[in-house]
Structure formats: C-alpha cells, structure tokens
Amino acid sequence: MVGVYLSFATAREPMDPMGPYDEIVVRGARVVGETSGLGQVIAVRGSKGEWLDAEGTSPSGILADPNAGLEVRAEPGVIVRFLTDDVEGLAVVPEIGPFALIEVETHTVRADRKTLAVRLGRAAPWQLTDAAGPGSQACGWIV
C-alpha cells in the first residue's frame, strides 16, 4: 500500500509498521502521523528515553531499549526535510532524497545506512553531514 510507514527498530523480530501516513514528523519526544491533513501522535519517548506507542506502552510487549530508534519507509522512497523553530535567520533547507530507509536514533539520522545528520543531545539541533548535500546547515527536527 502506498504511503509512509513507521516502525520501531528492535534487535528482535521486525515489527509490523504503523501506517500508511501521508507524512511523518519526528519532533523531540513525539512522532506525529499525518493523514488527510489530520495529525495524530503515533509514538512518544518514555521517561528512560525509549520509544513507546501512542498509548505509552512498549510496542514489542517487552522492555523497551532506550538506544533503539525509529525506521521510516515508503515506496518509491522517503523524502527528508529538516526544519527549525528559529524564525530569525531562517534558511530554506531543501528536501533530501528519496531514500529507501530512514533510521532515526537519539544522536543520528541515517538515510540508506549513510549518516545524514548528528546531534550532541536530544535538545541540540541536528547538524547535517556531507551526505545531506552541499549548503546544508543546522536544523531542529525532521519531517
């Protein structure tokens, strides 16, 4: 089915993805899935840093891994856009992609296994790498 899908990265068996969505926004401690202009929280960060489903439970039914990330997939590919809350000096950051797989971890965003962005802490802005293309700069969250 066409659309964007989110799944929780685990060291165990692959989990059924959530979706399809028109767009997925990963911002801070929550993930919002947009469908037909309506957004709904589909995942949240737990108190130990682990990702939980919207009901606040471990999606795998086991203890969540605080180091596990999120995976975003779509056919024919995922387009990534980094945004910022800083209105002053706002620069338009181009869309990047398409990619087959986006992996969002606490300090790293990977696109098709290449590091696209890094950050020092959860509240720090993303710093785009050369893999994002020339002229990329610090950003806040991803779409």
Please say whether the beta carbons of 125 and 69 come within 8 A. Answer: no
Residue 67 in this model has a pLDDT that exceeds 70:
no
- Cβ-proximal residues to 5 (8 Å cutoff; 6+ apart), any chain: 17, 18, 19, 20, 21, 72, 73, 74
Residue 13 in this model has a pLDDT that exceeds 70:
no
Beta bridge partners of 5: 73
Chain centroid to CA 38: 18
Q: Does 128 or 64 have the greater pLDDT score? A: 128
Q: Which among 37, 56, 35 has a CA at the least distance from the CA of 47?
A: 56
Residue 20 in this model has a pLDDT that exceeds 90:
yes
What are the C-alpha distances in Å from 122 to residues 49, 64, 108, 125, 133?
10, 18, 10, 8, 23
Helix, strand or coil for residue 112? coil
The mean per-residue pLDDT over the stretch 11-18 comes to: 70
The structure's pTM equals: 0.79
Chain segment 114-126, per-residue pLDDT in tens? 999 998 887 788 8
Give me Rg for the CA atoms of the chain.
15
Chain segment 75-117, per-residue pLDDT in tens? 889 999 887 666 565 556 678 889 999 999 888 999 999 999 9
